[in-house]
Structure 1
Amino acid sequence: MKQPFTKVFYTSQQHITLLKSRGLVITDERKAADYLYNIGYFRLSAYFYPLLKLPKEQHQYKSGATFIQALDMYRFDRKLRLLLFNEIEKIEIAIRSCMTNAASEYFNDLFWITNPAYFYNMQNFQYTQDTIDAELKKSKEDFILHFQSAYTDSYPPAWMIAEILPLGMLCRIYTNLKDNVIKKRIAQHFGLQVPVFSSWIVILAGLRNMCCHHCRTWNRELAVITTEPRRTQFGWINSSRTDKRRMYYRICMIRYFLFTVSPGNTFEDKLKALLAAYPNIDTRAMGFPVGWENEDIWK
């Protein structure tokens, strides 16, 4: 049953008093107050949570739990998001390029993305068309403004439109394509089957947004479960040992895409260096299985 929100505002010092009363060790209150003010208690509370005793509803911290431990989890999570976002950017750009180039060549139509003849669900097509119209209307990109001022066509070519659409919208366009041949061609470029490729784009788009919006990432249990590949072109993992809702599975998806997108990447080295820099991070909470370094995808 709903009830009024009755919590009151706390200053940083009041939060410190509260945390200490619950058993959290804070050795430098001045620094802790600065962190609480500049990061925010609400954001940091997600990193205090793993330090609570069971049952956690009692809000009592484990013996020896410290503010620094929570801060280290926050720092690790921040660096993990930056690492993942950097790699997702490469993958996203490759997906945009592959989709627009492959389909433009296959259909022999530079404007295929706005042509209803290539799509089977008109309701979905209209939704993507409305999104394209809205994005074009508000776009201040030089290449869009130049096209609109220089040409009489109703829409720019597919590769221009793809640059101003969210990754999730590109996935919707891809899955709505009528011709399975071009869908397979695009998916196979990344060593995947069509249903897996569609699923993985959605997952990556969600993870990208989490990274962009500074959301807690490292130990989150994610709602969307991805489609498992039946066969793979590159090394993969033993999925029976992996929780698909945890971050490790998504990290492996990124690793898999990079085999095509950036074969000489240093993602593995950067990941291992980050984990080594924060040895107290519980990788089990991220879904890392014992001996993960020996799985085929990391060889």
Structure 2
Amino acid sequence: MTKLKRPISFDEQIKKLEGRGLIIEDEERAKFILSNLNYYRFTAYLLPFKLDDDNYAKGTSFKKIYNIYMFDKSLRLLLMDIVGTVEISFRTYIAYTLAMKYGAYGYTDKRNFINEDYHNKFLLNLELEKQRNSSKLFIMHHNEIYEGRLPIWVATEIMPFGMLSKLYSNLLPGEKTFIKNNFCKVNVGLVNSWLQSLTHLRNECAHYGRVYNSLFPVVKIMKKHREYDFDNRKVFIHIVVIKYLVADQKNWNDFFIS
């Protein structure tokens, strides 16, 4: 087993970066940033500038890399907001569709979904979410008044985005078509794939992961976009996807000009 690297002090971190050719304009400022940012997180933004000999490309500066980090931080916050808009819309679409077709509690019936095993796992996970959210007033209310039975429009409010995307994928074709015809005018096969892709992006953003120059699971591209040289593992294609899933054009415009 390879021995782990020994921890190094902030002063040693500065010297290591300088030794690899990074220009550090203000050492005290750089030390302060590293003491609040984490050397490992900071150096992830240096990867595109790293040469084969482990040194950094000529002219690479600490200030430049920190500016990229701050840009990534701003982008991450913007993406969290706009993906949240998509997520809330799909909570509404799914809840409304199932409620209108099967009633408040019809979502618990396996016959109303494609895959019985997925549905059973969904119900088990929903129980876990009810336990995790047991201190919320609306869950306490339904526990006291309705013996813990949640109507679909309440249940969707405690589902993580990943769970919601799996619920959508398990809807019967008629329900997916209803959503397409009435709410989201996107091919249901694309929506299946895109919600899963946005779940990965959302989780990365929520855990303060790096979005800039990161690779994500492959995103399915619309036929009309295949002529463009999109990298279907980068964040830009996720932004393209979001454009088609945002219902309110004003929300998209606000995101786009931010």
Name the TM-score class by shorter chain.
over 0.9
What letter corresponds to residue 143 of structure 1 in structure 2?
F
Please name the residue that 1:233 is paired with: none
**Where do 1:208-227 residues align within 5 Å?**
208-222=202-216, 224-227=217-220
Is 1:193–1:229's contact at 8 Å kept on the other side of the alignment? no
Indicate which of 159, 167, 173 corresponds to 1:173.
Answer: 167
1:212-258 alpha-carbon deviations (Å, 9 max, x no partner): 10101021122x2223335xxxxx74553211111111011112222
- Residue 157 (structure 1) aligned with residue 151 (structure 2): yes
Indicate which of 33, 41, 44 corresponds to 1:43.
Answer: 41
CA distance in 1, matches of 2:32, 2:49: 21
Provide the alpha-carbon RMSD of the alignment.
1.5
CA distance in 2, matches of 1:79, 1:123: 40
Please name the residue that 2:13 is paired with: 15
Q: Give the C-alpha shift of residue 51 in structure 1.
A: 2.0
- Residue 251 (structure 1) aligned with residue 239 (structure 2): yes
Indicate which of 218, 221, 225 corresponds to 1:228.
Answer: 221
Please name the residue that 2:180 is paired with: 187
Please name the residue that 1:296 is paired with: none
- Residue 127 (structure 1) aligned with residue 121 (structure 2): yes
Aligned pairs, number: 254
Please name the residue that 1:268 is paired with: 256
Is 1:32–1:67's contact at 8 Å kept on the other side of the alignment? yes
Is 2:219–2:238's contact at 8 Å kept on the other side of the alignment? no
- Any gaps of 5 or more consecutive residues in structure 2? none
Q: Give the C-alpha shift of residue 137 in structure 1.
A: 2.0
CA distance in 2, matches of 1:6, 1:138: 36
1:24-78 alpha-carbon deviations (Å, 9 max, x no partner): 111210010011110000100111222222x2xx211111111111101100100
What letter corresponds to residue 93 of structure 1 in structure 2?
I
Residue 240 of structure 1 aligns to a residue whose secondary structure is coil
Is 2:205–2:211's contact at 8 Å kept on the other side of the alignment? yes
1:147-196 alpha-carbon deviations (Å, 9 max, x no partner): 110124x521011111111111112122222x311111113421111111
Q: 1:247 to 1:138 in 2, by over 3 A?
A: closer
Please name the residue that 2:30 is paired with: 32
Is 2:220–2:232's contact at 8 Å kept on the other side of the alignment? no
Runs of 4+ residues deviating >3 angstroms: 236-240
- Residue 105 (structure 1) aligned with residue 100 (structure 2): yes
CA distance in 2, matches of 1:85, 1:250: 12
Is 1:88–1:204's contact at 8 Å kept on the other side of the alignment? yes
Q: 1:239 to 1:215 in 2, by over 3 A?
A: farther
TM superposition score normalised by structure 1: 0.81
What letter corresponds to residue 217 of structure 1 in structure 2?
V
Q: Give the C-alpha shift of residue 96 in structure 1.
A: 0.2
**Where do 1:282-297 residues align within 5 Å?**
none
- Any gaps of 5 or more consecutive residues in structure 1? 231-235, 271-299
TM superposition score normalised by structure 2: 0.93
CA distance in 1, matches of 2:115, 2:243: 33
